[in-house]
A = this chain, B = another copy of it.
């Protein structure tokens, strides 16, 4: 060792001339980190983690979805889901109902407590988004939504579209 080893320190910053969009890569990293920090603080108070957040969120947005459907949305294994789901059921945030047509299935629904938690977690995230979009016009919001959707793998965009579209709302009139 120690001949023409490629172990010499490179001193110029990576960037120029590569044609790579480092600006947006880094903005996504920092933006997402701070975006998730809001609910993380709240969750810690309940003894929950980010995994609980995702389950509570999607059960509230798609009430009655089955365990298999939830696994498909989250892209995790059922053993991984089982742990956090059990806690959320034990703490009364989520209830299971036997599927009406197929009794092997368990439909997942939020309780009032679970709905309240979902709202509490979403509120600061929505406020952050609201501030970030403030000042821009409708075209800016459209551009951001279009960009984020286009970042999702094409096969998975169907899932995004399956979620409720928030007809009535806050900003309308």
| A positions within 8 Å CB-CB of B | 5-35, 37, 54, 60-64, 75, 92, 95, 97, 107, 109-115, 118-119, 122-123, 125-126, 128-133, 136, 139-140, 143-153, 156, 159-160, 163-171
What is the bound-complex CA distance between A20 and B121, given in angstroms? Answer: 11
Tell me if B34 and A152 are in contact (CB < 8 A).
yes
Pick from A32, A125, A148 the residue with the most CB of B within 10 Å: A148
User: Beyond the given A14-B63, A18-B170, A30-B160, could you list 13 further A-B residue pairs with CB under 8 A, ordered by the A residue number?
Assistant: A5-B92, A8-B95, A11-B63, A13-B62, A16-B169, A17-B168, A19-B171, A23-B163, A33-B75, A34-B151, A34-B153, A143-B143, A143-B144
Cβ of A61 to closest chain B Cβ, rounded Å: 6
Partner of A15, one of B10, B128, B164: B164
Contact A163 B26 (CB under 8 A): yes
Question: Are the C-beta atoms of A6 and B144 separated by less than 8 Å?
Answer: no
* Residue among A30, A92, A149, A159 with most chain B CB within 10 A: A30
C-alpha spacing A34/B29, complex, angstroms: 13
Q: Please name all residues of chain B whose beta carbon is closer than 8 Å to the beta carbon of A170 when the two chains form the complex.
A: 18-20
Give the chain B neighbours of A6 by CB distance below 8 A.
Answer: 92, 111-113
